[in-house]
Homo-oligomer: A and B are copies of this chain.
């Protein structure tokens, strides 16, 4: 992780895994992470925090229990705390995530997709 200028494109070139957010910047006790996703994640919620998604490349669908939210590049959405959601992408998506440090990607669901956040 750099404490200097962060070039999102360069950072995305440093990893290939899906559903494994990488830490690229800290802002107080918040973390900016980059993630590549493809396929469907798991339904989960974060009881303690909102979660921001900003799509950089591709089309991301954030399934909510009552509707789907579709994000194109340059669009962001904040999933409110406690709201169940399940991201899905037919084609690989590059996205920026923002949330407090320590948030686990699978929230209350856990399971094999739970990823440790590594700085890059």
Contacts and interface: CB of A to CB of B under 8 A. Distances in A.
B28 A77 contact: no
B27 A78 contact: yes
B77 A5 contact: yes
A102 interface: no
Nearest to A79: B27
A100 interface: yes
A115 interface: no
Contact of A69 (B5, B24, B70, B99): B5
A13 to B, nearest CB: 12
Interface in A5-50: 5-9, 24-28, 30, 32, 49-50
B8 A28 contact: no
B75 A5 contact: yes
Nearest to A69: B5
A87 B69 CA distance: 35
Contact of A27 (B5, B50, B56, B69): B50
Interface of A: 3-9, 24-28, 30, 32, 49-52, 56, 69-72, 74-78, 81, 98-100
